[in-house]
Structure 1
């Protein structure tokens, strides 16, 4: 039997898919695992910010379509790309152990955020990172950068003073040394499910679901459930700077989240703790807390604005 894994063609996406393939081969020596590589809408649209073309789901639809068409048995995604609601007929079959969820500054010349000169140009494709950077350093010029990890790293020394990327992606590609400063979550709250992988399968494919169950990491699943509960309640279809990060502390889930204005001048934060069994409800409760503090106003104001970041550089 051949197991086909649907994946994007980027180096990071293929690393993730190959990592899952290796885990499957370890569990079942001799099993035939192949990658089914696809180009998603998010991969094709490189000249405009993600938020202006739909944000969540841009890197997912074509891969989910391959599953539903039975061109593949498994889909491997970066969990943070996965919308709060999956396509009908598909399930989140397994959540493997999470990589470091923090964000990393890459600046060959200046090294740290504090060392960046006044008015420094910092590249990111994320409204969340841009807003939190502006909140920390209002003087910074935030510019949109697109492309794979290696392309964005090059831009840190080609016209920009620094770029900010997910530390998990750098580590997975063996590029962790390019991170000159790693933001603690207290300084820059990570994206929902950043550093986690999503293994998706058809709900009626019992054999694949059983196979993937062996790759599940319960602790990561609990954290992701809290974060995605927050996402499902707060997002509302808007493309806005939101962040959600759950940890397991003293036998409880601690969920921290924020909603920010595009320019970082308003940042509304919330925190709750509760039982592992109520992780998803906890995420929803934090979302409700933020909405009660005025996050709904930011959501309404931001809808339709797209992005406050500068246009991407050709």
Structure 2
């Protein structure tokens, strides 16, 4: 049987290559189990977000900073599949592309890495903390206005080096990336979601492909995690209504409350609780709402509308100016 080669596009960072390799390993096992005629090849692609490292994400502007070039390669049929960190993906995908699978989510929270192994509460007054995210800095300023927050860009490994070389007392990173790299031992503490709500989709991966690629879609459906797909859908709908991206101070996190049924088979019933936030960059105002429902799309819309009624759209408009 002739095997079709699936060309998988990925960013060039160590984390991107590691998680792409982990996904390919899982897909190869599924192919062997179900006798599917596929093999896989990785193609590295440089994105705008990877090229521009000397300014904060919010100042680079635009959505899809880490995915646009990869998506174009897919539309041009230079690649067939892309493995993205879901938090980097715009809420709306280009016409013709689809998330074929969202595998099981890993740790969604943000991680504090400090030189002395201290927690956020234990950091000394005026400690210098590095983060490239307006979402994180907004919430940290609300919790600890004394902290000196400074931008830190680059891949995980380069940011960990900067912790040692550029005078930071601590840095904030997504815990999921550290776990996928096997670097959990670097985590000093995990930030509770009531202190720092994660980015939309944080801890989840998106496997993007062309929606007319029925063969590949059939394989990816075997790898999709039902609960992660539902909860991330609620978060992404929330983001879409607010017209947000990874460079604005928006956070959301949805959890599944199982009621009955075989969830693994996709037939489980339950409710989703979604918490969303929009914050002023200086931490002076944090808007936050939680709702529970059984329709992830409607739930995302409802939480977003509640925040809009409180002025979230005005905060975001000011940030984008």
With the length of structure 1 as denominator, give the TM-score of the two structures.
0.93
1:228 aligns with 2:236: yes
Q: Which deviates more from structure 2 when the two are superposed, residues 153-162 or residues 97-106?
A: 153-162
Q: How has the CA–CA distance of structure 1 residues 172 and 182 changed in structure 2, closer, same or farther, with 3 Å as cutoff?
A: same
2:39 to 32, 52, 55: 32
1:124 to 115, 123, 131: 131
2:315 to 298, 303, 309: 298
Q: How has the CA–CA distance of structure 1 residues 124 and 236 changed in structure 2, closer, same or farther, with 3 Å as cutoff?
A: closer
Q: What is the CA–CA distance in structure 1 between the aligned matches of 2:159 and 2:205, rounded to whole Å?
A: 21
Aligned residue for 1:310?
none
1:173 aligns with 2:181: yes
With the length of structure 2 as denominator, give the TM-score of the two structures.
0.91
Please show how residues 243-262 of structure 1 align to structure 2 within 5 Å: 243-250=251-258, 251-262=270-281
Count of residues in correspondence between the two structures: 302
Aligned-pair CA distance for 1:300: 2.5
Q: Deviation string for 1:40-79 (max 9, x for gaps)? A: 1110001111111125301101100111111111111000
Q: What is the CA–CA distance in structure 2 between the aligned matches of 1:2 and 1:34, rounded to whole Å?
A: 7
Aligned-pair CA distance for 1:227: 0.1
Structure 1, unpaired ranges of 5+? 305-314
Aligned-pair CA distance for 1:108: 2.1
Q: What is the CA–CA distance in structure 1 between the aligned matches of 2:30 and 2:299, rounded to whole Å?
A: 34
Please show how residues 28-67 of structure 1 align to structure 2 within 5 Å: 28-29=31-32, 31-54=38-61, 56-67=63-74
1:95 aligns with 2:112: no
Q: What is the CA–CA distance in structure 2 between the aligned matches of 1:38 and 1:203, rounded to whole Å?
A: 21
1:200 aligns with 2:181: no
1:68 aligns with 2:87: no
Structure 2, unpaired ranges of 5+? 259-269
Give the root-mean-square deviation of aligned CA atoms. Answer: 1.4
